[in-house]
Chains A and B, each alone.
Chain A
């Protein structure tokens, strides 16, 4: 009886271990960035509307939406979600407050797994100063 229990215990541990650590090699995500569009121009004080969807083929491990100044790599805006879902939708805003004409890159980075596998979508736009 004890041997049977041990077999059962070992099998259970192996099963849990194998399923918990399985690779997400086949999983992908489609990022649909509806706004902004490539090469959009944004006047000073105007609100940048960033909205889109992320659709995964399996469970995704979060995403980050960020804005950076392409010439200096300064981060102008960044927000992340760490919730595990197959789909995400975002609708965020940022007010253009640059002091010089700036090429800004909007970046959506999706975490496919916890090993650092990512997929991204990048869009550049021009932000005008006052």
Chain B
């Protein structure tokens, strides 16, 4: 089982939806919890993020974004990983006087993650792992027109987006490690001159790794902080419905690895937030995934970067 103990970082948990329902409040893409130079990964994931919209402090609608995605990570070189995500989103808005449902392909994302430092101990356990990723989100998802009242339920932004992600993970002791991640998304204008604000996301996570029979249980708790800059229309920063704001949320996950399969469950609930002048509130988010791990052919001595 030792081979599993060194898988300690990289499960792609990206947020590729547009949703400014929620103030563009989907988080940035993230390198996530599992990184390994030993495995290629091929997975599917499903999850829900819920919001409520308020008018003068009165709830007038609730929104649920059901996100499904196909993701992969290919370790084609000892220092380079290629990550891809193809999302499909179902957005549902429930109001007093009606409901709306929009579904479709989201904006796919491709990322190259460079492993800058991967120091291991004599047992092969990762002591330090630092990576830097650059990604692009492509405007291929389904987009709503600017005049649509449910524009923000659509899964695509209609704009290109560049992502930069830094990840540093280090081992604290035999069972615990800590992961820090910082990401920045630079979002371009779409063809109507509308630009969602750029966003920054920081996560701090404590990761516990223990053997469970023939399997390995990796659980984590931490915080994620997301900041969203205001949206811009034709070069003018919007002052109303600008989607500006922040969210600080505790996040926890449980991951079970065994027989080349990885099962993941994650949830988060905001602790502090201010989105769109408090007219939008995130409530809860949950995500479940299953990933197949395929051993790479990188030689052992090459793998010890």
Residues of A within 8 A of B (CB): 32, 47, 49, 51-53, 55, 63, 65, 79-81, 83, 87-93
Cross-chain contact B95 with A87 (CB below 8 angstroms): no
Please name 8 pairs of A and B residues whose Cβ atoms are closer than 8 Å in the assembled complex, sorted by A: A47-B149, A51-B60, A53-B58, A55-B58, A65-B97, A89-B55, A89-B59, A89-B60
- Chain B interface bracket (under 10, 10 to 19, 20 to 34, 35 or more): 10 to 19
Contacts of A49 in B (CB 8 A): 149
Interface of B is mostly: strand
Which residue of A has the minimal Cβ distance to B53? A91
Cross-chain contact B96 with A90 (CB below 8 angstroms): yes
Query: Is B54's beta carbon under 8 Å from chain A?
Result: yes
Contacts of B147 in A (CB 8 A): 47
- Using known A-B contacts A51-B55, A53-B56, determine if residue A88 contacts B96 with beta carbons closer than 8 Å: yes
Interchain pairs with CB closer than 8 A, number: 44
Contacts of B61 in A (CB 8 A): 91
State in angstroms the CA–CA spacing of A24 and B73 once bound together.
63
Query: Is B213's beta carbon under 8 Å from chain A?
Result: no
Cross-chain contact B97 with A89 (CB below 8 angstroms): no
Contacts of A91 in B (CB 8 A): 53, 55, 60-61, 95, 149
Cross-chain contact A53 with B98 (CB below 8 angstroms): no
Cross-chain contact B96 with A83 (CB below 8 angstroms): yes
- Using known A-B contacts A47-B147, A47-B149, determine if residue A92 contacts B97 with beta carbons closer than 8 Å: yes
Instruction: Choose one: B53, B59, B98; the contact of A92 (CB below 8 Å).
Output: B98
Which residue of B has the minimal Cβ distance to A62? B96
State in angstroms the CA–CA spacing of A89 and B55 once bound together.
6
Which residue of B has the minimal Cβ distance to A49? B149
